[in-house]
A and B are shown apart, each in its own frame.
Chain A
């Protein structure tokens, strides 16, 4: 994009109520943060988060196709990373309910600047970079989860990195809740059965109808040669997409940690036990913590239980957790070592998941 065009877009968006810094409501659009893992294989049937933070898979349990999802260093100029899909098991006999969707869920409180559902509603500008092993067509959808409304546009993938710019109209129907729940989604449809492809694409905001969501798309699962790369994802107020808003890595990480983080408790190098306070509750169970999150969570998160020894040479105990939005504390599931104030034996991680 030329500087003149970029400036014109920015001015247009400012006039439409957007523009400026912090204009991108997508978190981790440059695909730089991957706290869970940088690669996951054998995906295809289970929804959820696997690699790159905030990027969620929505899949049908009957999908026959399988793929690997990873954080790639193949990226357009100015980017270090992309999200990569590689098909590992093809599926050319597509059942009606099959689907492969990549999505980001957005809190309602982060969408208020779009004034959706009001007479002052703003248009939506979406931009991203994509690439594949061959030509393909997929669908990009904006979905209002509070009011079950939707709009889609198709985009093309080639063997070269291509910047896609999509403009979606404002929607004067359906106010988004101003809370920390899942209100709005951007969804990429990469594979879909007739349940999602038998209708007519919604070029303007319309009431939820599965049949319209992925009309005219290719199938990512049509060959084991198939790849799909995406990065530089941006959603902003305005009529025209602007250049991707880069931000420092630590800022993106902090944004991601509102939804997921790993607290690493490292053992002291000059003692036998970890540096973590251990107390004892009235039932004889050992209490550990509190552990304060680096970033306040949007809601009370799920905590993966841990197993660790108490004091040197002690047996391993399992700990369960009580959680709040700012901290968590653990308690052993069994009574042990009454009367002592011990440390924990060795390093361990506490996985905190407050994702949408």
Chain B
């Protein structure tokens, strides 16, 4: 279950390179690849309004 998603920026500080994602209590790096099932699920939940992607602190 996806619990939390935070943007991870690259060295330029402005390009999001992946989503840091808490899945079943464990943090993961999720690539921005539509073929990745976790990324696809994030997009689905955002579209449904049940998940918000947070900015990095």
Chain A residues packing against B (C-beta within 8 Å): 46, 180-181, 281-283, 298-305, 318, 320-323, 353-356
Contact = CB atoms under 8 A, between A and B. Distances in A.
10 contacts: A46-B24, A180-B35, A281-B11, A283-B11, A299-B35, A300-B36, A302-B36, A322-B18, A323-B31, A353-B28
Interface string B2-30: 00000010010000011011011011111
Contacts of A281: 11
A354 B39 CA distance: 11
Nearest to B22: A305
A224 to B, nearest CB: 25
Given A318-B27, A320-B18, A322-B31, 9 more contacts: A46-B24, A282-B11, A299-B33, A300-B31, A301-B36, A320-B8, A320-B20, A321-B18, A354-B36
Contacts, number: 56
Nearest to A328: B29
A302 B37 CA distance: 9
A322 B8 CA distance: 10
A305 B11 contact: no
A180 to B, nearest CB: 6
B1 A323 contact: no
A318 B29 CA distance: 12
Nearest to B35: A299
Contacts of A321: 18, 29
| Interface secondary structure of B, over-half rule | strand
A297 to B, nearest CB: 10
A181 B11 contact: no
Nearest to A299: B35
A302 B39 CA distance: 9
Q: Which of the four size classes fits the interface of chain B? A: 20 to 34
A320 B31 CA distance: 11
Interface in B27-57: 27-31, 33, 35-39
Given A320-B8, A320-B20, A299 B36 contact: yes
Contacts of B28: 302-305, 353
Nearest to A322: B17
A354 B38 CA distance: 9
Closest 8 CB pairs of A and B: A299-B35, A300-B31, A300-B33, A321-B29, A305-B27, A303-B29, A302-B38, A320-B29
Contacts of B23: 302
Contacts of B11: 281-283
A117 B26 CA distance: 41
Contacts of A320: 8, 18, 20, 29
Nearest to A330: B29
Given A320-B18, A322-B18, A356 B37 contact: yes
A46 B18 contact: no
Given A46-B1, A281-B11, A322-B29, A355 B37 contact: yes
B26 A304 contact: yes
